[in-house]
Amino acid sequence: MPYTPSYRRLSATELRGRSDEAQKHLASCDLCPRQCRVNRLQGEKGRCRVTATPVISSYNAHFGEERPLVGTGGSGTIFFTHCNLHCIFCQNWEISQAGAGREISIEALAEIMLDLQKNGCHNINLVTPTPHVAAILAALPLAVEKGLQLPLVYNCGGYETIETLKLLRGIVDIYMPDFKFWDAERAKLYCGPPDYPRRAREALLEMQRQVGDLKTDPRGIAYRGLLVRHLVLPADLAGTGEIVRFLAEKISPRCAVNIMAQYYPAYQADNHPPLDRRLLPSEYRQAKKSATLAGLRLI
């Protein structure tokens, strides 16, 4: 029997209530740990540079995501514009930092979700959703009314508040956060906020509480659970060993994790050695070995 997404088990009243609550947060925005307190409903912009109107760069059936998300029909990916982090090595900086994209209506966002479902995608993959949480929650009831029944993937940078994650409880089935840095000083230098490591640890604990370990159907397609992404950086700037130990000891000994090898110098990385070079094969092998020794489920 096909999996029924969590949000389909909530009443229309509950879904609209979550949307209304998120809209209230926009009046003095505290939806992410930046706590900018700007009135996005009046067009003010904080660090993420987003008002109350959703901005996307593209959407499509994506076949380059993790295998449990892609399956045979692809992951229904919506690339939101802007980000609450400012990673100096961002490989999608044109979208996250330069703001490439277009504003769309809430109704259009709902129709995009339905279009991806119609095209045979296995999930709705919300990329960099944090600045757009209120818009997503406003669009969801409209999409549900018209038959949306795919799991939602919350594909984020890991810099979240517990309060916002609780707004998503019972709505998001698959959390796919990054865990970028273990060390606070390196987080401050390379992605902006020094509290990133602490916030990421807190967020992952809450995500695990909500959805548990990653679950797949007989076809190997994920329908619920936590999948952590970790980009290995040159000279172990990310602190991979500490991160995988935390995942194994505090999140789950069977936590699903993608140890990513695709680092290359992008955006402003050329000005920040050793980020100005590609990852060495030996560095990736060591990172993957650490994750394997920790007992994690490598995706």
Could you list the pLDDT tens digit for every one of the 299 residues in the chain? Answer: 578 999 999 999 999 999 999 999 999 999 999 999 999 999 999 999 999 999 999 999 999 999 999 999 999 999 999 999 999 999 999 999 999 999 999 999 999 999 999 999 999 999 999 999 999 999 999 999 999 999 999 999 999 999 999 999 999 999 999 999 999 999 999 999 999 999 999 999 999 999 999 999 999 999 999 999 999 999 999 999 999 999 999 999 999 999 999 999 999 999 999 999 999 999 999 999 999 999 999 99
54 neighbors 30 (Cβ within 8 angstroms): no
Tokens of 152: 């939602």
Going by the DSSP 8-state scheme, the letter that residue 273 receives in this structure is: T
Look up residue 258 and give its amino acid. N
On the question of a cis peptide bond just before residue 274, with omega within 30 degrees of 0, the verdict is: yes
CA distance 182 to 240: 8
120 neighbors 73 (Cβ within 8 angstroms): yes
* Among candidate residues 95, 92, 91, the one with its CA nearest the CA of residue 265: 91
Domains of the chain: 6-298 (3.20.20.70)
In this structure, the chain runs to a length of 299
CA distance 229 to 176: 7
CA distance 49 to 68: 32
- Give this prediction's pTM: 0.97
CA dihedral 268, 76, 229, 6 (to 10 degrees): 140
* Among candidate residues 84, 144, 106, 127, the one with its CA nearest the CA of residue 23: 106
Longest dimension (CA), the chain: 53
